[in-house]
Structures are given as C-alpha cells and as structure tokens.
Structure 1
Amino acid sequence: MKRSGQLIIGMLVAVAAVYYTVRNVSMEELLDSFANVHYGYLAISALMMILTYVARAVRWRVLLAPVKEVRTIELGSPLMVGFMAGVLPARAGELIRAFLLGKKLNMSFASALATIVVERLFDMVLLLMLFAWLLVFHADMLESKIAWSGIPIQTIAFQFGLASVVLVVGLVVFIYLLIYHEERAMKLVHWFMKPFPETFQYKIVQMAETFSQGLHVVKSLRSLMWVFVATAAVWALVILQYYPLYFAYDLNEKTLASTILLTVMICIFITILPTPAFLGSLNAGVLIALHEIMNEPEVAAVSFGFVAWGLNFIVVMVGGIYFILHDHISVKNLVDIEEEV
C-alpha cells in the first residue's frame, strides 16, 4: 500500500477515534472546560514531558555505550526528529530515527535500528510490569463491564497483555539466537522470508546480518541493569507527566493507581489504533480510563485528552523543528528517508 493510502487510512481512524471521544459532549461544554482549566499546571505537565524526552536520550546513550561513546545532547536530533515524524504513516518515525542516528554516528541502519528494538523491548517489559501491578493490587479497575466497539475493555487489556508477552518472549529468543547462535537465527530469518519477493528477502537478510552489531549492550549484565534503571526513570516520568493535569481539572481520583491505569490505557490504544501523532487513539485511552473506569466527568476527560495530546504534540514539534533547523535537515529528505526505509 502506498504511503498516501496509509496516511489516509490513519487519518480516518483518527477522525473516528476523535468522534468516539466527543460524541456525548457539546462544543459549548468542551470550550467551557478549556476555559476553566488551571493553566499553571499545564506548564508543569509540559516540563515533565520535556524531561521524559531528556530521559529517553539518556537511556539511548546507555544503550549505545557498548557500541560507541556519544554525548546525550548529540542524540537530541535523531530522537526528537524521529518522534516528530510520528505524523507519518506506519510508525515511520522509528525508522527515520534509526536512519538519522546511523548517519550521525556513522553506523549501519540495521545496527542503529537494533538499539531502538532493544529500547522498545525494555519499554514493553516495564509496561507489562505496570499491567501486572494493576492486576495484583487493583484488579477491580480492570473488572469493568465497559466495552469499546462492542469489545469489553477487560478483554482488550488482557489480549494486549498476552500479545505483548508473546512479542517480548519472541524478541528475547531471537536476540539470544542472533548473538550466541547466529547461524540458527539466520536460518530462522530465511524461513520467515520465503513467502516474500527475492529483493525484499535480500534486503531483510542483509539487515539481520548487521543487526547484531547494535546489540552489544545485551552481552553485558551491568549495561542491561543500567538500561533497566534508565527505562524505569523514563516510565516514571511518562506516568508523572499526566499527574499535574489531574489538578488542572481538579479530578476526584488523584492516586498513583489512577495515573498508572491512565498510562496503560493510553499505551494500549495508541498501539491498537496507530493514528498519525496518536491523535484520537490517545484521546480514546484517556476517556476510557478517566470517565468509563474512574467515573470522572465526561467533559473533563475529553478536555483532558485533548490537552494532554496537544501539550505532547507541541513539545515534540518544537523540539523536532529546532533540531531540523539546527542540523539543516530538509523536510524533503525526511520524506525521502521514509520512502527509502
């Protein structure tokens, strides 16, 4: 499917998700909610979001340390431009991030992508830990009879958790084979690629052969521990970035469990609804967590979702544009990169 087609589909899904969140709220109610927000807390939330990306850059430096020593500030450009490219279809931002990192540090694209895969692997592990914490200590939150598109939220959450576990195990096994049993790993790659055209097979096999160069961090237990600590810091900030908005809207439930539930629901919906820049999917996650499950006023939950999305979008766009101008990256080159990779 052409990129333009993917973008159109993504935008249609975003429109449908936005409609789902605002269908029971009038424009007048929504505007009144925006007007009554305590705006000082929004600045705190935006600061937390900025710190989240700083923490991501620090973690990326830790991941790269066994491969190449690099300063955290040097990773700002590929990180923020990559996240800004999240408006492109098929999650192309991650591929652009790997391409820009490889170009900046003179690494192969596959090696740079490997560091991002390990990063996402740790993200999934932390997300599963948060999900497990909710199940053990706050199972009542996920026992709701609420449904989304006819599917119970409980079913969606459990299916997402199961799929994440399978993906984590699969990635761990593949990475282990690639590092310690490369021949077996390559046979596995060849087997999976059989149904695809030869040119595509060749490209993927070539990438797999250089992919392991970006996995050196996995060979060191000490490095893995530091990556885990950095990932914990990232997720602590991800959770905390929404907390000031609880006070901005004077919500009733201002507990740690509520913010973790909110974070988990947002992650579930931005994964199953891959919309450009997470528009609509993030809003749906917020609405279900705050209104459907936590029983906060619907208009406050809808407004909260738009403000949370808007703040993060502004942080990412300002950061991305700054580094595009600073590093003289043309927008046309970003589109060309997205087509190439």
Structure 2
Amino acid sequence: MNKKVLLTVLQYVIFLGLGIAIILYMSGKLSDEDKAAMMGAIKGVRVWLLVPIFLIGFLSHYFRALRWKLLLEQVHIKTSTTNTTFAVLIGYITNLVLPRAGEVAKCTVLARYEKVPADKMIGTIVAERAFDMVCLVVITVAAFLFQASYIGDYAEGLFGTMSSSAKGVAATIYFKIFLAVAFAGLIAFILLLKRIRQTKVGQFIKGLGDGIKSIFKLKKRGMFLLYTLLIWGSYWFLLVLGFWSMDQLDHLTGLCALVVLVFGSIGMIATQGGIGAYPYLVGKILMYYGIAEAHGLAFGWVSWTVQTGVVVILGVAALILLPIYNNKKLKHG
C-alpha cells in the first residue's frame, strides 16, 4: 500500500472514528427521558415536508452543476447539463465513502462520457472550492453580526464563563465584529488546514488565488453569482423547511437557520460525512434559542439523515441513469 493510499485510509478512519465517538458521547450523556423525548420529536416530524425538501436538495445540486458548466466553458470544455448534473451527484455520493474523492470522481465521470480531458477540469474544481470557502466565511460573518448574542452564549458555554463586564461588551457592535472575524478566521483555517495537508503550501495558496481570479474573468459573472446565491439559498431554505417539519422548532426564524447553516457546515467538515458532529453542533446551538437539548438533537439527526439520504438516493440514481442516458444518446446520434 503506497503512502498516499495509507494516508487516505488513515484520514477516513480518524474522521469516522471521531464521528462515532461523538455519537457514543451523546448517547451516554442523555437520560432515558431525553432519549424518549428525542425519539418522540423524530416520530412527530411532518413527513409530507420531505417532498419539498427532496426537491430543494436536488435543485441545490442542479444549480451547482450549472455553475460548474460556466467554469468549464471558460476553459473551452462544452458539456451537457444532464451529464454534468449526474457527475456532480456521483461526486457527492463518492465523498460519503472517501474524503475528497468526489472531486476526482466527478471529473473522471464527465471526462469519460463527454470525451473531454479530465486534467483541464482540475482548475475549475479549485475555483469552485475557493469561492465556496469565501461564501462560507461571508455567511459566518453575517450570522455573527446578526445573531451575536446567541452565538456569544454558545461560545461561553463551550469555553467557560465570561465575566459580567464581558457580557456587557458582547452587546456592542465592536464585539460582534470581533466575534465574526475570529470565528470566520477559524473556519477558514480549518478548511485551509485540511487542504494544505494534501499539497505544498505555496502551490495550494497560489491555486486558491488563481481560482478566485479566474471567476472574475468569467464572461457570465452575473450568472455565476446567481447560481452561487441559489446554491447557498437552497441550503438555508432546507433548514427553514426542517424547522417547519417539527412542532418544537416551527417558531424559529430564518436568522436562526443562518446560524445553524454555519455550525452544520463545520460539523460536515469535522467528521466523515458529518456523522455525529453535525447533529451535536446543531443540537447545541439550538439550545441557545430555547430549544430543549433532546429536541435540538432530534432536529440535528433528522436534518443530517435527510441530507445524507438525498445524496445517497440521487447518487445511486445518477449511477444507474448515467450509462442508460448516454447509450440512448449514442444510438440517436
């Protein structure tokens, strides 16, 4: 087994193991009453809302495929929307199994069925990821600025009791800005660290810079920004729909969903596929909105399960339909 494969396997085991450890920790901490309350909340989910949730989940991937097409066109690669969408869906389901393998998988799939060079697509992947990193940082800053009191309480719960004077400062705009910048910097650092481990630091940073600059050279910058807004807007609206699906959370606001989006994104980064970490972080932040821990964890698990289920269902469907679609296209010339 070569070094690269060994590192990939080790990384997979570590992040999956961390997720399982978090699950065991949550299970051991909850009382029997809390577990019963959590299961009751899960059983009470408005199942009919799964239909629009599934639809919005698909649209988020579809918008990502359309955005990727714009980047591919910039490097003179023309692809069909259908095959590009299939490739994106296959990339997501691959990522559930192997960290970051999805990026390679979707390039390989598209190269095979569209007869285009896979190596020319790598730059577009870097550009996409770089811009998404910027988007997450911007969303984090916005969440902190608008919901600093809730997130400040959460940070206090995690890192110890603040003094009463510090609590007073927390209400000021300066403290909000400080929190926003500090937390956004932490997210950026985590994202960068995971990438830097796989390559030379200088090459990685240069690749990020080139990726972001390439976006500003796009002929259809407006469409790129629109698709980006639709992608992240879909992620946000999925959480709003999730709130509506549970009696205990249906009073929560869109700003709360923005905060959950930030912490949920961190959870997805922290462990393989977000297992354990996503429900835990989401459940914890919801406690500061007056939601019982059991109900917050119930929402976290429902949200994670539905998101993962959408990825699996759409990914399997793409794997089945991709060869069928292309065989028919080949027959009809």
TM-score, normalising length from structure 1? 0.73
Q: Using the alignment, how far apart are the partners of 1:253 and 1:89 within structure 2?
A: 37
Whether contact under 8 Å (2:19, 2:277) holds in the other structure is: yes
Q: Using the alignment, how far apart are the partners of 2:135 and 2:31 within structure 1?
A: 34
Return the offset for 1:43.
2.6
Gap runs ≥5 in structure 2: 1-5, 162-175, 193-198, 325-333
Aligned-residue RMSD, C-alpha: 3.5
Q: Note closer, same or farther for the CA distance 1:59–1:247 as it changes in structure 2 (3 Å cut).
A: same
Per-residue CA deviation, residues 291-341 of structure 1 (Å, 9 max, x unaligned), is 2x3221212111111111111122111111122223359xxxxxxxxxxxx
Return the offset for 1:166.
6.9
Q: Using the alignment, how far apart are the partners of 1:326 and 1:216 within structure 2?
A: 35
Q: Using the alignment, how far apart are the partners of 1:142 and 1:288 within structure 2?
A: 11
Q: Using the alignment, how far apart are the partners of 2:154 and 2:86 within structure 1?
A: 44
> In the alignment, which of 35, 42, 52 is matched to residue 44 of structure 1?
52
Structure 2 residue 302 is the aligned partner of structure 1 residue 307:
yes
Q: Using the alignment, how far apart are the partners of 1:242 and 1:117 within structure 2?
A: 27
Aligned to 1:53: 61
Return the offset for 1:263.
0.3
Whether contact under 8 Å (2:69, 2:79) holds in the other structure is: yes
> In the alignment, which of 317, 321, 326 is matched to residue 316 of structure 2?
321
Structure 2 residue 129 is the aligned partner of structure 1 residue 133:
no
Per-residue CA deviation, residues 104-143 of structure 1 (Å, 9 max, x unaligned), is 3334433212212211222122222222222333322221
Q: Note closer, same or farther for the CA distance 1:297–1:120 as it changes in structure 2 (3 Å cut).
A: same
Aligned to 1:298: 293
Whether contact under 8 Å (1:126, 1:232) holds in the other structure is: no
Amino acid paired to 1:50: F
Aligned to 1:86: 95
Amino acid paired to 1:309: W
Gap runs ≥5 in structure 1: 170-188, 194-203, 330-341
Return the offset for 1:70.
2.3
Structure 2 residue 18 is the aligned partner of structure 1 residue 10:
no
Return the offset for 1:289.
2.4
Structure 2 residue 33 is the aligned partner of structure 1 residue 33:
no
Aligned to 1:184: none
Q: Using the alignment, how far apart are the partners of 2:315 and 2:80 within structure 1?
A: 18
Amino acid paired to 2:320: L
Q: Note closer, same or farther for the CA distance 1:167–1:35 as it changes in structure 2 (3 Å cut).
A: closer
Instruction: For 1:1-341, list aligned pairs within 5 A.
Output: 1-22=6-27, 23-24=29-30, 26=32, 27-66=35-74, 67-146=76-155, 159-163=182-186, 192=202, 218=215, 220-250=217-247, 251=249, 253-271=251-269, 273-275=270-272, 277-291=273-287, 293-328=288-323
Aligned to 1:334: none
Amino acid paired to 1:242: L
Per-residue CA deviation, residues 47-90 of structure 1 (Å, 9 max, x unaligned), is 22122112111211222222223232111221111100122233
Return the offset for 1:17.
2.4
Q: Using the alignment, how far apart are the partners of 2:144 and 2:179 within structure 1?
A: 14
Q: Using the alignment, how far apart are the partners of 1:10 and 1:238 within structure 2?
A: 23
Per-residue CA deviation, residues 208-234 of structure 1 (Å, 9 max, x unaligned), is 8xxx8x999536354233211210111
TM-score, normalising length from structure 2? 0.75
Whether contact under 8 Å (1:243, 1:259) holds in the other structure is: yes
